[in-house]
Amino acid sequence: MTGEPIIVARGLEKIYGFGRGALRVLKGIDLVIMRGEMVSIVGPSGAGKSTLLNLVGCLDHFQKGSLVLMGRDVSHLTVEDLAGFRNRTLGFIFQQHNLLPEFSALENIMMPLLIRRERWHEARTAALAMLEQFGLSDRAHHKPSELSGGECQRIAVGRAIVGKPDIILADEPTGSLDSVNSRNLTEILLRLGRERGCTIIIVTHDKSIASMMDRTISLVDGSIQTDTRKPE
C-alpha cells in the first residue's frame, strides 16, 4: 500500500423505490480504501454487499452521499466519461463469469483492450500472455461452452486484469467453484493484483477466501458492522 486513498465513500446511500415503499439498501456508508489494499466484503444475504460493489464500480447510482475514485467525484462524470473511466480504471469479475459466448477465450480477454482502441496485435499479445500465466494457452481458441467452469473463471480473471486496472471488483468470483479451485483462483488473482499494484475488493460468503485478504469489512442490514485489518 502507498498510503494513498483510492476509494473514498462518504454517507453513501442506495434507495430503491419511493415514498412509504422505499427500501434503503445502504444506509450511510463511510469507507476509505487505500491503493494496493486487498479487501473482502462479507455479510448475510441482503446486507448490501453486491449493491456497494456496484456503486463503487459505477454500475449503479446512489441517492445520497459522495463517492470519489482516484481523486475523481464520479457523480459529476457524464455517461460517456463514466464509461471511459470504467474501462481504463476498473476490472470486473462476476460469479457467472459473464464471458461473451460467441467469442473465444483469447478474444474475451482481448475485449477490454479493443474497446480501449488499443492495436489488435498488442491486445492479442497481452491476452496470450494472460492465458500462459493461467496455464490455458492450449484453450485460446475455445469458446466458453467448450471450457470448464474453472477455466471460464480464470479467463474472466484474465479479462479483468489484462488492461492493468487500478481497481478490481469481484462479486462472489469463486461461488460456483469447489474449495480447491476457489483457493487456487483467489491465490492467482491476489498474486497478479500485487504484481500490478491493483486494489482488489471481493464480495464473498467464503470465510477461507476472506481470510486471505488484508482487510475484511462486514456489512449487516446496509451498514458497516466491523472493519478489521490483518496484523502487520
pLDDT tens by residue, 58-76: 989 899 999 999 999 998 8
The reported pLDDT for the residue numbered 10 is: 96
Residue 102 makes CB contacts below 8 A (sequence gap 6+) with 143
- Interhelix angle 179-196/149-161, rounded to 10 degrees, is 10
All three cell numbers of 111, joined, read: 475485449
pLDDT at 1 over 70: no
Predicted model pTM: 0.90
Residue 10 makes CB contacts below 8 A (sequence gap 6+) with 30, 65, 66, 67
For the segment 75-89, what is each residue's pLDDT rounded down to a tens digit?
888 888 988 899 889
d(CA 226, CA 175): 23
The reported pLDDT for the residue numbered 149 is: 86
Percent of the chain with pLDDT over 70: 98
Helix (H, G, I), strand (E, B) or coil at 166: coil
Domains and CATH numbers, the chain: 35-60+77-229 (3.40.50.300)
Please state, in angstroms and as integers, the Cα–Cα distance from residue 129 to each residue in 75, 137, 161, 169, 215, following that order. 36, 8, 11, 22, 30
The reported pLDDT for the residue numbered 75 is: 87
Give the residue-averaged pLDDT of 189-201: 89
Name the burial class of residue 40, with classes exposed (0-12), middle (13-18) and buried (19+) by CB atoms within 10 angstroms of its CB.
buried
For the segment 141-194, what is each residue's pLDDT rounded down to a tens digit?
999 999 998 899 889 999 999 999 999 999 988 877 788 888 888 888 888 888
d(CA 149, CA 137): 16
Percent of the chain with pLDDT over 90: 62
The reported pLDDT for the residue numbered 7 is: 96
